[in-house]
Amino acid sequence: MESPVNTSITAIKPGQILVRGYDLCEMMGRLSYAEVVFLLLAERLPADAEGRVFEALLVSSVDHGLDAPSTHVARTTASCGVPAQAAIAAGINAIGDSHGGAGEQCARILQEALAAHPQADLQELARSLVAEHRLGGERLPGFGHRVHDPDPRAVRLLALADAEGISGRHVALARALEEVLSEAAGRSLPMNVDGAIAAVLSDLGIDWRFGKSIFIISRVAGLAAQVHEQMTAGKPLQFARPVRAAYSGPPPRSLPGQGKE
């Protein structure tokens, strides 16, 4: 007899759906959608201030225009004549380590560093984390942005987290990293939205392993709107345009012999 699958998320019986122990229908009308998402991820209801900051966190990444790679993928796929869910799924497949993944990586660094060194001086901890990454030849994820300087979403999210009393040790460590990195770079290298989300979700007590998922939860609404626009107002195959390619393979050559024919 096979063993059952353990789950602590949802229990169902006819007429009743319990999510983390709470009745889903009682939550409808009493909790906002974002508060229920918080419950799913943090395994507890948010306090009011936590709920407000988490709303803003989800709003911050809801869309970033046509050039975000996942949006590009979703719209290109939508232009190929597929149903909405397939285009959205393709876009989500593109949310990887190099796009939308910086938040998870940054949250991991913050959470692991503070779990290992709970009493550390944050400036020292930041210097040691930067040095460690420099040794490995890596860039610390969550700082700097190719378009925005500074990233206004990060500025706003951190201000809200401060005002609501959510900012704690993780936000403080992220700010220390920002300072050390900027010093080292000789120019301002401010937290971007991924870094700010990483710091804030860590101070909200959410596991860093949810980092990419939080980005997905937020962005999926933007993807849905983009795909809808492509399907209703776009042109077939319009979105993927010719790429300027430089062919560097073998020159034209003939097949050997005619032996096989």
**CB 46, CB 56: distance < 8 Å:** no
Please report how close the Cβ of residue 232 comes to a copy of itself at its closest, in angstroms.
Answer: 7
Is 170 among the residues that bind a copy of itself (CB under 8 A)? no
> CA-CA distance, 151 to 133, in Å (whole number)?
23
Stretches 97-105, 168-176, 178-186, 197-205: which one binds a copy of itself (CB under 8 A)?
Answer: 97-105
The Cα–Cα gap between 180 and 25 comes to 48
With CB under 8 A as the contact rule, the residue among 49, 99, 108, 133 that binds a copy of itself is 99
Tell me if 97 contacts a copy of itself by CB under 8 A. Answer: yes
Nearer to a copy of itself by Cβ, of 46 and 176: the residue is 46
Contact between 49 and a copy of itself by CB under 8 A: the answer reads no
Q: Applying CB under 8 A, which of residues 46, 49, 50, 77 lies at the interface with a copy of itself?
A: 77
Which residue among 112, 121, 134, 152 contacts a copy of itself (CB under 8 A)? 152
**Site for a copy of itself contains 241 (CB under 8 A):** yes
Calculated CA dihedral for residues 230, 55, 46, 159, nearest 10 degrees: 150
- Is 167 one of the binding residues for a copy of itself (CB under 8 A)? no
What single letter denotes the amino acid at residue 175? Answer: R
Cβ closer to a copy of itself: 132 or 238? 238
Q: How many residues bind a copy of itself (CB under 8 A)?
A: 134
Residue 66 within binding range of a copy of itself, rule CB under 8 A: yes
- Assign 66 to helix, strand or coil: coil
What is the enclosing helix (H) or strand (E) of 215?
Answer: helix 211-233
As measured in angstroms, the least distance from the Cβ of 72 to a copy of itself is: 4
Q: Which one among 49, 117, 133, 155 touches a copy of itself, defined by CB under 8 A? A: 155
- Cα→Cα distances 227→144, 215, 232, Å: 29, 18, 9
Q: Is the peptide bond before 150 cis (omega within 30 degrees of 0)?
A: yes
**Within 10 Å of residue 134's Cβ, how many Cβ atoms?**
13
